[in-house]
Amino acid sequence: MQVHVVDHPLVAHKLTVLREATTDSPTFRRLTEELVTLLAYEATREVRVEPADITTPVAPTKGVRLTSPAPLVVPILRAGLGMLEGMQRLLPTAEVGFLGMIRNEETLKAETYAERLPEDLSGRQCYLLDPMLATGGTLAMAIDFLVRRGIDHITAITLLAAPEGVRRLEKELEHVDVPVTIVTAALDERLDENGYIVPGLGDAGDRLYGVV
Ligand SMILES: O=P(O)(O)OC[C@H]1O[C@H](OP(=O)(O)OP(=O)(O)O)[C@H](O)[C@@H]1O
Ligand SMILES: O=c1cc[nH]c(=O)[nH]1
Ligand SMILES: [Mg+2]
């Protein structure tokens, strides 16, 4: 598994405002979208393309196009939904599937409550969206699910990741031969006793959707 922390002053600036406890929900949503678009630029470095012959108004030339089938983008509900528009801005032709997952706040175990994905995932490239990689339980379960269904290339885009979660994913993916990359805006210090990322940004789903 590869972890790529995007080092860019604009990402750092937007993330700083996002983290602030006083940032309201509309601003939080807008910044999330903007951050995802910036992260998506890095995350799509290995998006599959094929050669294409085209003709400009001036001359024939060679270029590339995204291969078919298009990449699959999977936001993990609820909080991952706030990342979808920012991702679609960069990959407008991607197909979108959904995973609904919730972490039990007592046991910190992830559960899947909804799934809406294309029937045949074999050989597909997938971008998983979830702003928070905390204990890693949610992403581990989502990745396991997608690998079992035949996805053969996974990039997870997160805003924040905790070292504990990254270590857990590295361990759980040791024997998975599908390449997995995590692209994140920051790798934070640690988890607190409630499994929250420190310094973090609080509950991403609540902040996106105005739950007080
Ligand atoms: O790495 P983990 O310890 O599994 O925690 C991270 C998960 O927790 C949050 O979702 P939450 O369960 O709060 O659901 P929500 O998106 O509906 O708020 C977050 O968006 C991740 O999905
Ligand atoms: O810090 C955290 C951890 C899990 N989920 C969140 O929304 N925030
Ligand atoms: Mg939440």
Task: Give the closest ligand to the alpha carbon of residue 110.
Answer: 1
Here the ipTM equals 0.98
Counted domains in the chain: 1
Alpha helices by DSSP H, listed for 44-162, are 84-90, 137-148
Q: Which tokens hold the place of 177?
A: 């031969």
Q: Is 138 among the domain residues? A: yes
CA atoms of 143 and 182, how far apart (whole Å): 11
Query: Which ligand 2 atom is the nearest neighbour of the CA of 197?
Result: 1
Q: Is 72 among the domain residues? A: yes
Please tell me the predicted confidence (pLDDT) of residue 42.
97
Q: What is the rounded average pLDDT of the residues 167-183?
A: 97
Beta strand 72-77 with 98-103 is: parallel
Answer yes or no: is pLDDT of 98 > 90: yes
Residue having the nearest C-alpha atom to atom 3 of ligand 2: 196
Q: Is 24 among the domain residues? A: yes
| 135 DSSP assignment | S
Q: Is 164 among the domain residues? A: yes
Please tell me the predicted confidence (pLDDT) of residue 94.
97
Kind and range of the H or E run holding 102: strand 98-103
Q: Is 150 among the domain residues? A: yes
CA atoms of 54 and 63, how far apart (whole Å): 7
203 is in an annotated binding site: yes
What's the CATH code of the domain at 177?
Answer: 3.40.50.2020
Please tell me the predicted confidence (pLDDT) of residue 212.
83
What residue ranges line ligand 1, CB within 6 angstroms?
Answer: 76, 78-79, 101-103, 108, 110, 130-138, 165, 195, 204-205
Q: Is 126 among the domain residues? A: yes
Q: Give the tens place of pLDDT for each residue, 64-75.
A: 999 999 999 999
Q: Does ligand 2 lie within 6 Å of residue 133's CB atom?
A: no
Range of the domain at 150: 2-49+66-208
Catalytic residue among 29, 37, 152, 203: 203
Q: Is 134 among the domain residues? A: yes
| Burial class of residue 169, CB neighbours in 10 A (0-12, 13-18, 19+) | buried
Q: Is 58 among the domain residues? A: no
Q: Give the tens place of pLDDT for each residue, 7-45.
A: 999 999 999 999 999 999 999 999 999 999 999 999 999
CA of 50 to the centre of ligand 3 (A): 39
Q: What is the rounded average pLDDT of the residues 199-211?
A: 97
Q: Give the tens place of pLDDT for each residue, 103-156.
A: 999 999 999 999 999 998 999 999 999 999 999 999 999 999 999 999 999 999
Q: Which residues contact 18 (CB under 8 A, 6 or more apart)?
A: 28, 31, 32, 35, 159, 201
Query: Which ligand 1 atom is the nearest neighbour of the CA of 102?
Result: 12
Q: Does ligand 2 lie within 6 Å of residue 191's CB atom?
A: no
Please tell me the predicted confidence (pLDDT) of residue 55.
98
CA of 101 to the centre of ligand 3 (A): 10
Query: Which ligand 2 atom is the nearest neighbour of the CA of 79?
Result: 7
Q: Over pLDDT 90: what percentage of the chain?
A: 98
